[in-house]
Amino acid sequence: MANQISMVKKHDILTLYTHGFSQRQIARKLSVHRQTVSRYIHLSQEESKSTIVPPGSAADENSKSTISPAGSSGRKSTCEPFRSIIDEKLRAGLSAQRIWQDIHYEHGFSGSYDSVKRFVRRLEGSIPLPFRRMECSPGEEVQVDFGKGALIRMPNGKKRRPHIFRIVLSFSRKAYSQAVWHQDTDTFIRCMENAFRYFGGVPKTVVIDNLKAAVINADWYDPEVHPKLQAFANHYGTVILPAKPYTPRHKGKVESGVKYVQNNGLAGHEFDSLAEQNRHLENWEKNIADTRIHGTTRQQVGAYFEKHERLALSALPPCNFPSFQEAKRKVHRDGHIAVEHAFYSVPPEYLGRELWVRYDTRTVRIFNERFEQIALHAKADPGRRRTDMNHISSKKISGVERGAEYLLRKIECIGEHSERWSKAMLIERGIAGVRVLQGLISLANKHRAGEIERACETALRQGCFRLRPLRQLLRHGSKQQELPFMQDHPVIRDLAEYGQWMRSQMTISNNNNREDVLPQPPTQAGRTEKKPLFHARRIPL
């Protein structure tokens, strides 16, 4: 938009022009550009032409009813003849730019866009209001921003420009500056912490820019602050307030503070290291920035801070913000997440989801989407696993893992004999019997408790502690017939008969003086022996 000049100079331009001065002479006398002189003379001529209307016409009546704005010279606007058209388009919701285009191309309007804009403002009554300057009470607010620092000569001969972190207390304008190489979240937090320690206290609110290290999603109504920065604010008992996006005036104190440190503290300087630039900034803050008389407060910054604001700051916490790393991790199919090549369990309902993880040299903390802690583990070595048994579904825990005591409690429900057999079996077989207990419990799905009780009673009486005979007892019935010991039976031969047979065979062997296969012993009627019982050797007499 063209530069605007005062009404006095506009009047002088038109007066000199009516007295016969050329545009070049007017520009030289009034110290304005010749094109500016030409523009205002041309606007004056156009306005005078458009205001000449026939007496008694509708335009003449409309112009008579026009009310000049307060403080004006009474000259009518070039838009007055088009008042009804402009008013109609305003009610249709068109902008001033669109109205100017329409009346320029459709109705031959020769005035400027600025004249249409001013006329529309008068019709709408939308005179722009001045900005309201917001002042804060002591300890209420601090504003933070980044700028460019002074050049640093690197060891390889090149020069590199760092970032300048600047933080300003809104009440006293006490400030802290630090040169850094990066604008990541960890660096931002450390700079904030150094500033709070430098001030000796914590303000109630912190107004920050929408840099990616601090704000994940910029939104004036509901900004999403980085979780690590939010944890830092909770640790120090303050509130992070991101400024409105693309609105630097919302943190104007620190905006001017960054320019001040650049133009006054660092202009014309070069340094050999980042540490040297920070030492220079520390001395400059103490000897220059703190001793100046601020243009707004009209007070010496350092003395004003010590007198009115230091005691208004909240107390510092007893320890620094704990350093940890943070990242998102997806839960694997086995219910664990990977952190630095180690694995940590989470509750089963989070399978396949992304979770926030915070970890340091000692602990690993896991958070859900609402940033509620759902798991805490001690740090494990790479390749190792940390599994909380509460994170394993009951359906995925076998009876062997639960132990013998758990299985015995379940066997108690079957009956007394089953319990006695199980305890005796564990004494006999040791840890290998845990699976046998699980097998005995599985039999309860196929057989009644009474059948299992009878089978276990029989097996315990006979000292059998294997699961297979127990199954056979259940399959064929646990009732078994015990055969009595019989002295006489048709199958059993008398021992004298065997002795007579042995003597006869020995006699035959001695007569033949050779080894021979003994004949078969006598058999009972109807029975034959297909194989010899044994081979006899020659026994010398």
Domain at 379, CATH number: 2.40.50
Q: What is the pLDDT of residue 8?
A: 64
Q: Do residues 240 and 206 lie in contact, with contact meaning Cβ atoms separated by under 8 Å?
A: yes
**E strands within 243-330?**
270-271, 325-330
Token pair recorded at residue 153 = 């000569």
The three-state secondary structure class of 142 is strand
pLDDT value at residue 236: 92
Predicted pLDDT at 457: 86
* Structural contact between residues 30 and 21, judged by C-beta atoms closer than 8 angstroms: no
Sign of the dihedral defined by the CA atoms of residues 228, 232, 235, 237, in that order:
negative
In a domain, 249, yes or no: yes
Give the structural domain span for 118: 7-51+76-124
Q: Hey, what are 453's tokens?
A: 């009780």
In a domain, 67, yes or no: no
- Residues 79 and 199: their CA atoms lie apart, in Å, by 58
103 in the same domain as 86: yes
291 and 216 belong to one structural domain: yes
One domain for residues 392 and 403: no
Domain boundary among 396, 429, 449: 396
Question: Are 229 and 95 in a shared domain?
Answer: no
Write out the H or E segment, with its range, that includes residue 504.
Answer: helix 495-512
425 shares a domain with 365:
no
Q: Give pLDDT, residue 311.
A: 92
The answer on 163 and 150 residing in a single domain is: yes
Same domain membership, residue 379 and residue 404 = no
Do 445 and 513 belong together in one domain?
no
Residues in the chain: 541
For residues 230 and 148, the answer to whether their CB atoms sit within 8 Å is no
Identify the H or E element spanning 148.
Answer: strand 141-148
In a domain, 135, yes or no: no
Helices (H), 265-370: 274-284, 301-304
How far lies 183's CA from each of 179, 180, 262, 278, in Å?
11, 8, 18, 16
> Does an H or E element contain 505, and which?
helix 495-512
For residue 57, being part of any structural domain is answered with no
Same domain? 284 vs 388: no
Domain end position, chosen among 381, 396, 411: 396
Tokens matching residue 508:
């035959």
The CATH number linked to 252 is 3.30.420.10
Q: Read off the amino acid at residue 241.
A: L
Residue 412 lies in a domain: yes
Instruction: Give SS3 for 509.
Output: helix
d(CA 285, CA 290): 6
CB neighbourhood size of 27 (10 A)? 19
**Is 490 inside a domain boundary?**
no
Q: Decide if 2 is inside a domain.
A: no
- And the tokens for 23? 């545009």
Which residue positions in the chain have pLDDT lower than 70?
A: 1-4, 6, 8, 48-75, 125-134, 248, 250, 394-403, 477-495, 509-541
By CB atoms closer than 10 A (0-12, 13-18, 19+), residue 359 is: buried
- Domain co-membership, 241 together with 343: no
The continuous run of DSSP H or E covering 366 comes out as strand 363-367
Long-range contacts, stretch 182-188, CB < 8 angstroms, 24+ apart:
183/146, 183/211, 183/213, 184/213, 185/213, 185/214, 185/226, 185/228, 185/229, 186/228, 186/323, 187/213, 188/213, 188/214, 188/229
Same domain, 451 and 515: no
The answer to whether residue 253 sits within a structural domain is yes
Q: Does 160 lie in the same domain as 112? A: no
Q: What is the pLDDT of residue 119?
A: 87
Strand pairing report for 159-160 and 163-169: unpaired
Last residue of a domain, one of 396, 431, 446: 396
* Count of structural domains, the chain: 5
Q: Both tokens of residue 133?
A: 């300057």
- In this prediction the pTM is 0.49
